[in-house]
Structure 1
Amino acid sequence: MEALVNEWLWQEEYWLPPGVGWRDIEMKEDEGRFPLPKDLIYTLPLAFAFIAVRYVFERVIAVPLSRHLGVKDRIRIRAAAVPKLETFYKQSSRQPTQTEVASLVKQCGLSQRKIQTWFRHRRNQDRPSNTKKFCEASWRFVFYLVSFTAGLGSLINVSSFFTCFPLTPVAAAHYWYYILEMGFYLSLVLCVSVDVKRKDFKEQVIHHFATIFLIGFSYCANYVRVGTLVMLVHDSSDFLLESAKMFHYAGWTRTCDSLFVIFSLVFLVTRLLVFPGRVIHTTLVVSLEFFPPFFGYYFFNALLLVLQALHIFWAYLILRMVYKFVFLGKVERDERSDEESEVEEEEPEEEGDESSWEERKGAINSKLASLANNCVLNNLTNQRNINSRLPKTR
């Protein structure tokens, strides 16, 4: 198995520039450390460690913090226990068609309206609460903030990205920065089924996988310095977005709007100017001054271009939000990633068929009475005006 992997995966022409072999990058202990693929094995147990730390963090720190900041959850009506509807809900569809509703009416002996109401309550029951979304945002905020600070510190003494490439030893700070970042993104992929599904769920999954491949390949090919800059650019705006979400769930509208404006500026500058102008230009153009193109050159830049395409997509959503903020005066929704993927707005709760019908009937009667009163008043006014004109006419 090892021989097969070495023959097909670890070929020198895939990972190293022409003229450089695996023997050329062997280093002694006193010379430093060269990044090896086996180092990434530690990221998988680290991902499970992140999940465990997150579980403790959300319950010990995030939940009490949400209560302190005033996060409130909606009181939702629980759907009645109907086994046949529950089975259909989990195995078939959460939003049945009219034909399926008619079939369920015959099976359960309930009216069509009661079945539709049951599915509405059941969908609302599964929606994540504000506390859950706050905990998720606070966990990401803490990690992105710590990661951004660490990445900023690790790049202070870096003068050139491709000096002596690929024979440059990796610094201890860059090594741990890579291992922690990849472990964190692996934990996000492992938790994707339980986390809140956003409007850009598919784009987020693509982003996570592209990031994992980018981190892993850049580490094995010793693109460590430029890879550190890539992760730093992403973390610089992500912690601002997560902090804005936290205050949004807490109802701090002004603070949320201010943080969103700062996030928008940082995102647009770093993702649309710094990332293509500094990172992609360096890896795509400047790197050719140090070594000829090879497979790793094309693969690494292809992953960077995938990330840039996602940046443009998110920038479009953010500019829509900025437009709403400027012309409407507030941020109504997080167009980038703060909506559930299934429906845009939460469906209204109803107490039941009879009570809702009585409420609607009362509202209709009140409107009809108001309309009748207006008609009577208008007729009396017109009659009074006519009577006042009769003497003059006579």
Structure 2
Amino acid sequence: MSKSTSAELHPGGHSDPATTRRDTGASKKERPIPRRRASSLRGEPPGDTAPSMSTMYDRQQLEGFTNTTVTTPRATAEKPHRGRKRRKVKSFFKRWRSLSVRHTWLMPLLVCLLVVALYAIYPHPSNPISAALFLSYPLPRAKGDSPDVLIHYGKGKKDFAFVAFYTIFLSFTREFIMQRLLRPLSIKAGLKSRAKQARFMEQAYTAVYFAVLGPLGLYVMSRTPVWYFSTAGMLEGFPHKTHDAVFKTYYLMQAAYWAQQMIVLLMGLEKPRKDFKELVAHHIITLALIFASYRFHFTYMGLAVYVTMDVSDFFLATSKLLNYIEAPIVIPYFMIFLSAWAYLRHFINLRILSSMIPLPLPFPDAVNAQIHTTLGFAGNLTSTGFGLASPVLNPIASVSASLFPATANLISKAPSMVVEWFNTPPTFQTIGPYDLNWETQQYKCWISQWIVFSMLLALQLVNLFWFFLILRILWRLVASWGEVVEDDRSDADDSVEGTEDRKDELDTMRKEQGAIGELEKPALLVNGIPLPEGESGVDVMVANGEKR
């Protein structure tokens, strides 16, 4: 580039402006302008864990180049003070955005510190910020109660502030633990793919969380009549309007965790899996169950469901972690996880569902007679009640009854047992009041029975879908004679993860930059006027009536 061109591009040069413009036009015709060296993205920023935010730091590097405006001395001399202030503000926000993208835990930490600082100004329960940090609605002890009696807490709108604050706090702990602790651990474990590192960190954080909340849930359950998943204990003493501090803290912290998980899904902080729609449905149902159970006092039932989900999620997360690092015990541990999932998410939850089946019981006599007729063949194993098939089935039935008399006796009683089971009102109706009364907040009635049953059934259907995928993994494991297979919900093939990740990053970067208008080309100003693309400074001067 010629000296005159340099003088024009860099304010403060001492060349004559007219000569500069002539030399610029001549040099453009004589030889092509050298191609500018591309900016380096400098690889992956340290500590970045979220796949959808992995290009934010790269975009920040480009902004320092693409937003640089080349000006002439006249343009810079017009309003220097105003321009400097504007550049300082833009530079500050750019640096802050770059820092917050590098350390995604910084923003929620600052919000939490701000809330704590506002409370520290006036640390008293009357401070409105107190509801975000501490439990609200403490109830005074009754007269004559000893100091050892636990204080109970009621429910109200202030509990939303508690959940909101700890949702932000859990966002901080999630990002901080993943970036500062789990990312180095994933690299040390030998995971080179960024996609696998991200999945490792997500599952490791889940395992850490439920390693704490799972035992805590069992401890809370042991202090209530619900122990050990007693369906009768879930309804004893209904409505459960108040709880001790440990119970209420556990319940609301779980609500904050699932709210934070929903934010993670909506913001795309985790790379979507193949079962993304089912996962969103699961989170929506879970949040609806949490709100309904807390508002309408079915918290004991919610406690049991919490524990079944938490413990099984711990085994799920740790099983996936062992699979990522290719641990030698991954297959035996997978069988442990499968057993825990089947027992907790299906056997226990189906027991809870069976305790509230909304059927019009007892059945009419005609329905009971039809059940007996349909299942009546079970009572004829040793008789001649098989009709045309008697010559074949009667000998088989006789031999079976002689070899397994207890089993034959049980099968023969099957029709009566089924009729009795169907005609026994569910526990939901028989324990405690069963009537709708808004004044006394008595909500255990036929309406709530249908609503709770439907929501738990929807949750069970999602779990059954995942259980089908788990069984398919088990089938492939058996068919491959113990060879480790991939999770059906994995989001990418390992052979192309690196290429696909970088392609996704660049596509996201282009879209985001195009959307916010940050990919503007550098503008060359001639006498304070932007130079149109494809024209020289001489053309602009002629158009403006200036002399060469």
Report the TM-score, using the length of structure 2 for normalisation: 0.46
Letter in 2 for 1:321: I
Structure 1 contact 161–225 (Cα < 8 Å) conserved = yes
* Cα distance between partner residues in 2 of 1:38 and 1:164: 25
Distance 2:238 2:473 in 1: 42
Match of 2:220 in 1: 154
Following superposition, the deviation at residue 262 of structure 1 comes to 1.0
Q: Cα distance, 1:275 vs. partner?
A: 0.9
Which residue of structure 2 lines up, in the alignment, with residue 62 of structure 1?
182
1:53: which partner in 2?
173
Contact 2:312–2:345 (Cα < 8 Å) also in 1: no
The answer on 1:325 being equivalent to 2:477 is yes
User: In the alignment, does 2:200 pair up with 1:134?
Assistant: yes
Conserved 8 A contact 1:46-1:183:
yes
2:325 pairs with one of 234, 250, 257: 250
Distance 1:313 1:250, change over 3 A: same
**CA positional deviation for 1:344:** 5.9
Amino acid paired to 1:207: H
* 1:276-296 residue CA offsets vs partner (Å, 9 max, x unmatched): 11x223344212112322433
Alpha carbons 1:148, 1:232 under 8 Å: kept? yes
**Corresponding residue of 1:203:** 278
Q: Is contact 1:40-1:216 (8 Å) kept?
A: no
Work out the CA distance in 2 between the residues paired with 1:184 and 1:349.
31
Contact 2:139–2:154 (Cα < 8 Å) also in 1: no
Q: Which runs of structure 2 are paired with 1:1-394 in the superposition (5 Å)?
A: 28-30=139-141, 32-73=152-193, 129-159=195-225, 160-167=233-240, 169-192=242-265, 193-252=268-327, 254-277=328-351, 279-284=352-357, 285-289=426-430, 290-292=432-434, 293-328=445-480, 329-335=482-488, 337=489, 339-340=490-491, 346-347=495-496
Q: SS of the counterpart of 2:317?
A: helix
Query: 1:40-67 CA distances to partner (integer Å, 9 max, x unpaired)?
Result: 3321221121111111101211012223
Deviation at 1:225, TM superposition (A): 1.1
1:331 aligned partner, one-letter code: V
- Contact map agreement 1:174 1:224 (CA 8 A) in 2: no
Aligned-pair CA distance for 1:208: 0.7
Give the whole-Å Cα distance in 1 for the aligned partners of 2:330 and 2:271: 20
1-structure distance, mates of 2:177, 2:215: 20
- Describe the SS at the equivalent of 1:306: helix
Deviations 1:130-162 (A, max 9, x none): 111111111111111211111000011322222
How far apart are the structure 2 equivalents of 1:244 and 1:348?
21
Question: Taking structure 1 as reference, are residues 349 and 41 closer, same or farther at Cα in structure 2, changes over 3 Å only?
Answer: closer
Letter in 1 for 2:428: S
Write the letter of the residue equivalent to 2:269: V
Q: Looking at CA atoms only, which structure, 1 or 2, has the larger radius of gyration? A: 2
Shift of the 297–344 alpha-carbon distance from structure 1 to 2, 3 Å rule, reads farther
Q: Which AA in structure 2 matches 1:323?
A: W
- Could you tell me how far apart the structure 2 residues matched to 1:131 and 1:27 are? 45
Q: 1:201 Cα deviation (Å)?
A: 0.7
Q: CA deviation at 1:299?
A: 1.9
Helix, strand or coil at the partner of 1:261: helix
How many residue pairs get matched?
A: 265
**SS at 1:195's partner residue?**
coil
Q: Identity percentage over the alignment?
A: 23
Farther-moved stretch of structure 1 (241-250 vs 224-233): 241-250
Root-mean-square deviation (CA, aligned residues, Å) is: 2.3
Residue 274 of structure 2 aligns with an amino acid whose one-letter code is K
Whether the 8 Å CA contact 1:155–1:229 is kept in 2: the answer is yes
Task: Map Cα deviations across residues 210-238 of structure 1 (whole Å, 9 max, x no partner).
Answer: 11111111011111111111010011111
Task: Write the distance in 2 (CA, Å) between the matches of 1:331 and 1:256.
Answer: 8
Quote the offset at 1:345 in angstroms.
6.6
Question: Higher relative contact order by CA 8 Å / sep ≥ 6: 1 or 2?
Answer: 1
Once residues 255 and 58 of structure 1 are traced to their aligned partners in structure 2, the CA distance between those partners, rounded to angstroms, is 25
Structure 1 residues 203, 348: closer, same or farther in 2, change over 3 A? Answer: closer
Q: Which runs of 5+ in 2 are unaligned?
A: 1-136, 143-151, 226-232, 358-425, 435-444, 500-548
What is the CA deviation profile of residues 9-61 of structure 1, one whole-angstrom value per residue up to 9, with x for unaligned ones? Answer: xxxxxxxxxxxxxxxxx995226323335413321221121111111101211
CA contact (8 A) 1:137 1:246 kept: yes
Letter in 1 for 2:485: E
3-state SS, counterpart of residue 129 of structure 1: helix
Distance 1:179 1:348 in 2: 38
* TM-score with structure 1 setting the length: 0.63
Structure holding more helix per residue: 1
Equivalents in 2 of 1:232, 1:349: separation in Å? 38
| 2:532 corresponds to | none
More divergent stretch after superposition (290-299 vs 306-315): 290-299
SS at match of 1:177: helix
Deviation by residue 1:154-201 (Cα, 9 ceiling, x = unmatched): 011322222221155322222111111111111111111121211211
The aligned amino acid for 1:134 is: F
Mapped to 1, the partners of 2:256 and 2:497 lie a distance apart of: 40
CA distance in 2, matches of 1:206, 1:131: 26
Following superposition, the deviation at residue 347 of structure 1 comes to 4.2
Asked if the contact 2:153/2:248 (under 8 Å) is kept, the reply is: no
Give the structure 1 partner of residue 405 of structure 2: none
How far apart are the structure 1 equivalents of 2:278 and 2:296?
A: 26
